[in-house]
A and B are shown apart, each in its own frame.
Chain A
Amino acid sequence: DAGVIQSPRHEVTEMGQEVTLRCKPISGHDYLFWYRQTMMRGLELLIYFNNNVPIDDSGMPEDRFSAKMPNASFSTLKIQPSEPRDSAVYFCASSRTGDWDTEAFFGQGTRLTVV
């Protein structure tokens, strides 16, 4: 397996524009996580899915953020409208189960810059 695949690797957009980040989890993994990383706040969990169903979205900053998982092999994180403070690296991760003793595999991340 190629691991967790995220696209794009880099995204530069203007304030107010819609941004869509994409993730393909490892096949057979039932859990998918979206994280955001900034210097100030570190790695923050935004939302996670179990079997394509959103389980906990309490980390989503506000209504401008939305995430979907239409099938087991694809998820999107959308920001609309984007703001400069959304600039960060966004990571997607997947794991076989949701237990802490199960290894989570992270993608390479998408570096988002909103100008």
Chain B
Amino acid sequence: LAKTTQPISMDSYEGQEVNITCSHNNIATNDYITWYQQFPSQGPRFIIQGYKTKVTNEVASLFIPADRKSSTLSLPRVSLSDTAVYYCLVGKDTGRRALTFGSGTRLQVQP
């Protein structure tokens, strides 16, 4: 499994754009990059997934450079309700078909 490194915490203010970068230097050729979001007292929720270049949905954008050794989750114009823990997951271990979560990035959005 590709190991991921992401900041432990980030602070932002409402209306700002937030970028959370995840490093995954040993990503394999067939690995996807997936981000989950977890609000307090809830289970994780899928946000976005990509393989290369850029992916955008109604919640976020995911930027992946050509070497794929890192990725950046971009949240446009955050609000208080975006306060959550964001997990970056990378890997496609055929021997263990289950998501493995790291520590995640705790995003705190202030008014």
Check A45–B34 contact: CB distance below 8 A.
no
With contacts A31-B97, A45-B98, A45-B99 known, is A100 near B42, CB below 8 A?
no
Check B43–A56 contact: CB distance below 8 A.
no
Check A45–B100 contact: CB distance below 8 A.
yes
Check A100–B99 contact: CB distance below 8 A.
yes
Residue A12 lies at the interface, judged by CB distance under 8 Å to chain B: no
| Distance of B25 from chain A, by nearest CB (Å) | 18
For the residues of B in contact with A, the DSSP-based class is loop
Check B44–A106 contact: CB distance below 8 A.
yes
Chain A's interface size range is 20 to 34
Residue A109 lies at the interface, judged by CB distance under 8 Å to chain B: yes
Partner among B46, B96, B99, B102 whose Cβ is within 8 Å of the Cβ of A56: B96
Q: Which residue of B lies closest to A34 (CB)?
A: B98
Chain A residues at the B interface, C-beta cutoff of 8 Å: 4, 31, 33, 35, 42-43, 45, 48, 50, 55-56, 91, 93, 97-101, 103-109
A97-B97, A106-B44 given. 9 additional CB < 8 A pairs? A45-B99, A55-B97, A56-B96, A91-B44, A93-B43, A100-B97, A104-B99, A109-B41, A109-B42
A-B contacts, 13 listed (Cβ < 8 Å): A33-B99, A42-B101, A42-B103, A43-B87, A56-B98, A98-B98, A100-B92, A104-B46, A106-B44, A107-B43, A108-B41, A109-B41, A109-B43
Chain B residues at the A interface, C-beta cutoff of 8 Å: 31-32, 34, 41-46, 49, 87, 89, 91-93, 96-104
